[in-house]
Amino acid sequence: MSPGNAAEILILIAGLAILGISSGATTALTGIRRARLWHLFSTDREAGLEFEAQIGQYRSSLVVVRMVALVAAISSAILLAHEISDGLWWAILIAALAVSILQFFVEGQVRLIAAKDPERYFHGIAIPLAVLRKITRPVTRLTPLSSEAAFSHSLEDGDEVEKPLEEVREMQEIVSSPDRPAVPDEAEQEMIGAVMELKDTSVREVMTPRPDMEAVGDDESFDDVIKLMTERGRKRVPVYHESLDNIVGIIHYGDVLKAAHTGQKPAIKDLAKPVLFVPEFKKARDLLRDFLVKRVHMAVVVDEYGGVEGLVTLTDLVQEIVGDIAPEADSEVSMVKDGEAVFDGQVSIYEVNDNLETSLKGENYGTIGGFVLHHLGRLAKPGDRVHAEGVQVEVVSTAGRRIRKVRVKRLAPVPEQPPAA
């Protein structure tokens, strides 16, 4: 064997080894990210975002390393195959096939090792990986594969192939980490259940409906806008042009303050940043992923015709997960007695059914307020009553044209009359 052949074999082996190790590193980063990000975002969002960026940078570096290793392995394999074959094309075919088969087995075995204990695997390669990250940083900055794109790609790939059983195991790993009890407590179990339910919850169910939205026109004065945001405690407010169906951006309180401190009073439309529009039936879990990947906190919800239906924020999604766990955090439902309760008018039909064990259908409406309006056929006023579908609903209070509170009472089933003789 000539010295040239020995060098080619060494390059081939090294390339395959690097491919396997980097593939395992990607698997380990994915495993660490899921549990670590969950913990960080629930305790310190800034730390979570910093960790997310680091993971993205590592992933970008691994992409570059894998590309270089793959090119080196294929090139050396082609040179080796060319010496034992009659033509260049046969050499390329043989080399590509051999590298693909070897890569499949090497990467598969390393991925299995990394998946069993991702933290231990990552710690074993942390130093060389940190060096590679510094070496490849100039390249990763120039390539379109930014940390955000890499992070987004990993999320999408993982979520597309996730199965319910795998999700449950993931949650179990999170709550059984060293700094948590071996068995999840009741609050953790409820939180896990809430996260699992997010994939079946539509954005429409958690959004702030259009009548409750706070927005400003792009022609409003700078002073009026800063006064509104300060008095209402709003960090972000949608900006519209002429009508609420034409939202042109989101204005941030920080940008308003910066302008105020410099003594400037720019036009509101000049401060507005791009807005994220989402369809009303988008799943809440998918939107949460978009929020984290794109680093935005607010989205405008639109219907199938493009009309604005409402507003949803990152806080809304977080409250959907943890809101029911905090004691007395939810005043939308007040049980009076068994089979009777007072509900906020915007409470969903499904929540009424859960609390009172009723079976309201909600085919043409989504809330208990919509149920009342549907059966009344007109605007409601306090004292109005509806008897339908086995319940009695009394309007307790209204605000303008909206129903604020209703009292719902489950009615006893009417006994069937015996057939006439």
Question: What is the CATH architecture of 203-319?
Answer: Roll (3.10)
pTM of the model: 0.43
User: Checking DSSP bridges between strand 216-217 and strand 236-241, what pairing results, if any?
Assistant: parallel
pLDDT at 385: 94
pLDDT at 323: 56
pLDDT at 197: 62
pLDDT at 327: 42
Using alpha carbons, list the distances in angstroms from residue 66 to 21, 41, 60, 106, 247: 9, 30, 10, 13, 44
- φ, ψ of residue 354 to 5 degrees: the values are -65, -40
pLDDT at 165: 40
Q: Given strand 236-241, what is the order of strands in its sheet?
A: 216-217, 236-241, 243-252
The predicted-structure confidence for 255-313, as pLDDT tens digits, reads as follows 888 888 788 888 888 889 999 999 998 988 888 888 888 888 899 999 888 899 999 98
Q: Which residues of the chain have pLDDT under 50?
A: 1, 37-44, 48, 144-184, 324-330, 414
Dihedral through CA 202, CA 208, CA 210, CA 213, nearest 10? Answer: -150
User: Checking DSSP bridges between strand 276-279 and strand 298-302, what pairing results, if any?
Assistant: parallel
Give the span between the Cα atoms of 266 and 49, in whole angstroms. Answer: 31
Q: Residues 158, 162, 167, 173: is their CA dihedral positive or negative?
A: negative
Cβ contact 373:388 at 8 Å: no
pLDDT at 372: 92
pLDDT at 87: 61
pLDDT at 295: 83
The predicted-structure confidence for 166-196, as pLDDT tens digits, reads as follows 444 444 444 444 444 444 455 555 555 556 5
User: Which secondary-structure segment (H or E) carries 300?
Assistant: strand 298-302
Would you call 237 helix, strand, or coil by DSSP? Answer: strand
pLDDT at 325: 40
Would you call 347 helix, strand, or coil by DSSP? Answer: coil
Tell me which of 3.40.630.30, 3.40.640.10, 3.30.420.40, 3.30.465.10 is the CATH number of domain 333-410.
3.30.465.10
Q: Where are the domains of the chain?
A: 3-159, 167-198, 203-319, 333-410
